[in-house]
């Protein structure tokens, strides 16, 4: 009761003078008012004013001077997330101006600045400090040396501009000076975007030598920015990288690129440029685009941009609804693959499609109708196949197609699932500059099928459901039409996704012909404890070999290879998937194994891939590779990332990489090392080393990792 009465009395006094503009509240164990208009409060003093809160041991308010004399320990929370700590203070009545001694300023709970003296001015917008140590690292009692700190003779924090200015600054790690800067300006922790230098990154490669990247970030308004990154090496190689970003109301764009002069190609300006963007046009329309161009075949590999050797640029317009799909694409290709030339490749391609799903009134079931068009253009004018790739060097093609698919399901009294299905397509072509396929061929194709499924369900011990489902599908398709070239369906996969498809060609140019029976058996087990097992076994039996598929596809001859696919997953983060295509002698035609394992301590992914050599798929040698990627959290602060690709045929590593990451509350450090072992006529094996260090607490960047734990 006594403390409440003192609060009321103090409130009456402190609404006088400058504080009368807004009501202030003072709470203390003892309050006294002297005859000279001075209020004195002591014992657990608390003051609340305009969103600010101050605690102190004692406070003296001089109404005539409108000043506060405060004895600490003092804590002032300014209402914006900043905290002032001090031993003594002489402040204006509204706490916005004055001097604090033996003070500390904590910005946004992230960055701490300790100073011998702290002066607040300009309504609290400016804070000047002398003899300052700044750090975002945790400092434990008995260990006053932080992991890193910036020492400066003077520091000014501009709260309005959200900037911190250092004078005569030195950066120290564990107390050892490593860098001196006469002046330094950095954004405070509340600033998410500010013009200035970003943290540098060290990079060393066998091709370019050792160099330093120093990014400079420029804000160009609220919705645009530009990052320029000079990259200089000790060998004299020079590069300037750029990244431009702009956000719009309905989307955004990003433009990246670089220009270089190096000793790999002396006297030649090298570089690349790429742009990406995505926009929501309304009514479910989405517009996306990407584009990339490079000056020479090896630039992207030399500078670690990408390993792609066929570059595609495209503009895509899509609209996806429940029963409707529309897409239109304009694509440009640029090859930088050794032995290829853009003159004979389809460098300009257009695709457009419209698809609608509906229920036909007479037939029932579900149906889809599709209209699509395709065109490709080659710069060459030759109607002959001079380079031996099976395509006329100058072939230009336009195709317009109309197709329809239908399916209806029935369930018999014995539990047998019966389905009738079919499709029909009409294609019209215009082909020029091709002696083998010139003119305007037309093609009509279709297929009908009958499918029988008998799902057998059993509930095992503890209620575990199991499903075994044999499937037989009879298909009759139209014969082969050799008047049409196959340009978009040269790579054919045989997997559980198309085992029961009427047509296994991925595009529209190829159409699977003849009569066949698709056979399959599937098994599924779902355990309530969280693990599952699934498997599919199947093959295709044809009345006669139409000669459409290559040996590497697994679909050649009257009896296809056997397809076996299975997967297993549990609730401990393990997922394993395997797909095999083997012939009757169990010789492997195609094989793929993938595993994933994830828990709080480790993420592991990898796999094995085997592809038989096949000239039809432009693969002159059998491919057999193992890939592995692993991330291991060594401690709460340390993590290691490992990646590798091993070529079993060549018995050597194709690529290997190691990355070590350290993150705590005030520092992020990344050390990377990678090696590319493969070589070609234009690219040599190379090693890439990188080091980046980021001091946390400046700007609104990463929140960092686990903080240091102080032990008593």
Whether residue 138 is predicted with pLDDT greater than 90 in this model: the reply is: no
**Average pLDDT score over residue span 408-427:** 95
Per-residue pLDDT band at 705 (split at 50, 70, 90): confident
Whether residue 9 is predicted with pLDDT greater than 70 in this model: the reply is: no
Are 687 and 301 in contact, with CB atoms under 8 Å apart? no
Q: How many helices (H) and strands (E) does the chain have?
A: 2, 41
Q: What pLDDT sits at residue 78?
A: 87
Whether residue 20 is predicted with pLDDT greater than 80 in this model: the reply is: no
The pTM assigned to this predicted structure is: 0.84
From the CB of residue 268, how many other CB atoms can be counted at a distance below 10 Å?
11
What gap in Å lies between CA 127 and CA 83, rounded to an integer? 12
Whether residue 710 is predicted with pLDDT greater than 90 in this model: the reply is: no
Token code pair at residue 618: 């432009």
**Average pLDDT score over residue span 650-659:** 92
**Average pLDDT score over residue span 517-533:** 92
Q: What pLDDT sits at residue 24?
A: 79
What ranges do the domains of the chain cover?
2-189
In this predicted model, what pLDDT tens digit does every residue of 32-46 receive, in sequence order? 888 777 889 999 999
Domain 2-189 matching CATH 3.40.50.970: the answer reads no
In this predicted model, what pLDDT tens digit does every residue of 306-347 receive, in sequence order? 988 899 999 999 999 999 999 999 999 999 988 889 999 999
What gap in Å lies between CA 55 and CA 73, rounded to an integer? 8
**Average pLDDT score over residue span 93-107:** 90
Whether residue 1 is predicted with pLDDT greater than 90 in this model: the reply is: no
**Average pLDDT score over residue span 117-137:** 91
In this predicted model, what pLDDT tens digit does every residue of 466-486 receive, in sequence order? 999 999 999 999 999 888 998
Non-local CB neighbours of 299 within 8 Å, separated by 6+ positions: 260, 270, 271, 272, 305
Which of 545, 432, 436 shows the shortest CA–CA distance to 480?
545
Q: What pLDDT sits at residue 679?
A: 62
From the CB of residue 114, how many other CB atoms can be counted at a distance below 10 Å?
20
The more confidently predicted of residues 382 and 15 is 382
**Average pLDDT score over residue span 74-101:** 90
- Highest mean pLDDT out of 18-27, 35-44, 240-249, 542-551: 240-249
Residue 433 DSSP SS3: coil
Are 332 and 350 in contact, with CB atoms under 8 Å apart? no
What gap in Å lies between CA 290 and CA 334, rounded to an integer? 13
What gap in Å lies between CA 225 and CA 231, rounded to an integer? 20
What gap in Å lies between CA 329 and CA 348, rounded to an integer? 11
Token code pair at residue 462: 């503890």
Q: What percent of the chain has pLDDT over 70?
A: 96
From the CB of residue 458, how many other CB atoms can be counted at a distance below 10 Å?
10
Which of 128, 58, 62 shows the shortest CA–CA distance to 88?
58
Token code pair at residue 267: 């006297």
Q: What pLDDT sits at residue 700?
A: 66
Provide the pairing of β-strand 456-459 with 442-453. unpaired
What gap in Å lies between CA 597 and CA 258, rounded to an integer? 38
pLDDT, the chain, mean: 90
Q: What pLDDT sits at residue 712?
A: 62
Provide the pairing of β-strand 251-261 with 270-282. antiparallel
In this predicted model, what pLDDT tens digit does every residue of 143-170 receive, in sequence order? 778 999 999 999 999 988 899 999 999 9
Are 500 and 540 in contact, with CB atoms under 8 Å apart? no
355 alpha-carbon distance from chain centroid: 30
Q: What pLDDT sits at residue 681?
A: 55
Token code pair at residue 270: 């090298």
**Average pLDDT score over residue span 276-304:** 95
Q: What pLDDT sits at residue 3?
A: 43
Whether residue 17 is predicted with pLDDT greater than 70 in this model: the reply is: no
């Amino acid at each position: 009761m006594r403390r409440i009465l003192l609060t009321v009395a103090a409130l009456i006094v402190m609404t006088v003078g400058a504080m009368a503009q807004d009501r202030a509240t003072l709470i203390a164990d003892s309050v006294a008012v002297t005859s000279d208009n001075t209020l004195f409060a002591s014992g657990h003093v608390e003051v609340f004013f305009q969103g600010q809160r101050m605690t102190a041991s004692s406070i003296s308010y001089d109404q005539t001077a409108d000043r506060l004399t405060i004895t600490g320990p003092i804590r002032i929370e300014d209402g914006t997330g900043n905290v002032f700590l001090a031993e003594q203070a002489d402040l204006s009545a509204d706490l916005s101006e004055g001097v604090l001694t033996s003070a500390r300023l904590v910005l946004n709970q992230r960055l701490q600045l300790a100073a011998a003296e702290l002066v607040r001015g300009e309504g609290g917008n400016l804070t000047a400090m002398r003899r300052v140590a700044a750090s975002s690292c945790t400092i434990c009692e008995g260990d006053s040396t932080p992991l890193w700190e910036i020492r400066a003779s003077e520091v000014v924090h501009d709260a309005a501009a959200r900037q911190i200015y250092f004078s005569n600054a030195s950066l120290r790690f564990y107390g050892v000076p490593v860098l001196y800067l006469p002046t330094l300006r950095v954004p405070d922790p509340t600033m998410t975007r500010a013009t200035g230098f970003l943290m540098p990154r060290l990079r060393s490669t066998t091709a370019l030598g050792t160099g330093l990247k120093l990014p400079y970030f420029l804000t160009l308004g609220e919705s645009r920015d530009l990052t320029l990154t000079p990259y200089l090496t000790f060998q004299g190689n020079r590069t300037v990288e750029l990244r431009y970003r702009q956000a719009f109301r309905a989307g955004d764009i990003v433009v990246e690129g670089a220009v270089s002069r190096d000793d790999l190609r002396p006297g030649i300006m090298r570089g690349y440029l790429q742009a990406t963007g995505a926009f929501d046009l309304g009514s479910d329309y989405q517009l996306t685009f990407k584009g990339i161009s490079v000056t020479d075949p090896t630039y992207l590999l030399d500078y670690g941009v990408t390993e792609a050797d066929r570059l595609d640029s495209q503009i895509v317009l899509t609209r996806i609804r429940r029963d409707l799909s529309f897409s239109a694409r304009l694509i440009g290709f640029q090859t930088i693959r050794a032995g290829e030339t853009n003159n004979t490749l389809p460098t300009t391609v257009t695709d457009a499609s419209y698809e609608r799903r509906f229920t036909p009134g007479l037939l029932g079931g579900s149906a889809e109708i599709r209209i699509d068009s395709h065109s490709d253009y080659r710069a060459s004018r030759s109607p002959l196949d001079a380079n031996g790739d099976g395509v006329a060097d100058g072939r230009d093609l336009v195709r317009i197609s109309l197709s329809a698919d239908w399916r209806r399901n029935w369930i018999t009294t014995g539990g047998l699932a019966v389905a009738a299905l079919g499709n029909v397509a009409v294609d019209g072509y215009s082909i020029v500059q091709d002696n083998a396929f010139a003119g305007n061929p037309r093609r009509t194709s279709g297929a009908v099928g009958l499918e029988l499924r008998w799902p057998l369900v059993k509930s095992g011990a503890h209620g575990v459901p199991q499903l075994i489902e044999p499937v037989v599908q009879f298909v009759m398709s139209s014969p082969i039409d050799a008047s049409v070239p196959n340009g978009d369906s040269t790579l054919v996969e045989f997997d559980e996704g198309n085992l029961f498809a009427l047509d296994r060609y991925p595009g529209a140019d190829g159409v699977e012909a003849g009569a066949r029976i698709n056979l399959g058996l599937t098994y599924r087990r779902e355990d309530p404890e969280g693990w599952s097992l699934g498997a599919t076994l199947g093959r295709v039996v044809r009345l006669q070999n139409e000669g459409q598929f290559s040996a590497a596809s697994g679909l050649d001859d009257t009896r296809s290879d056997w397809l076996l696919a299975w997967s297993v997953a549990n609730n401990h983060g393990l997922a394993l998937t395997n797909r095999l295509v083997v012939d009757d002698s169990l010789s492997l035609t195609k094989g793929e194994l993938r595993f994933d394992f994830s828990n709080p301590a480790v993420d592991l992914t990898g796999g094995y891939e085997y592809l038989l050599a096949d000239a039809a798929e432009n693969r002159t040698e059998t491919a057999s590779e193992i890939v592995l990627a692993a991330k291991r959290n060594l401690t709460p602060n340390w993590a290691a990332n490992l990646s590798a690709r091993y070529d079993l045929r060549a018995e050597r590593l194709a690529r290997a990489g190691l990355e070590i990451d350290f993150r705590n509350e005030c520092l992020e450090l990344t050390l990377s090392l990678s090696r590319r072992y493969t070589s070609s006529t234009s690219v040599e094996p190379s090693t890439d080393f990188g080091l980046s260090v980021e001091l946390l607490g400046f700007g609104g960047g990463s929140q960092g990792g686990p903080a240091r734990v102080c032990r008593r």
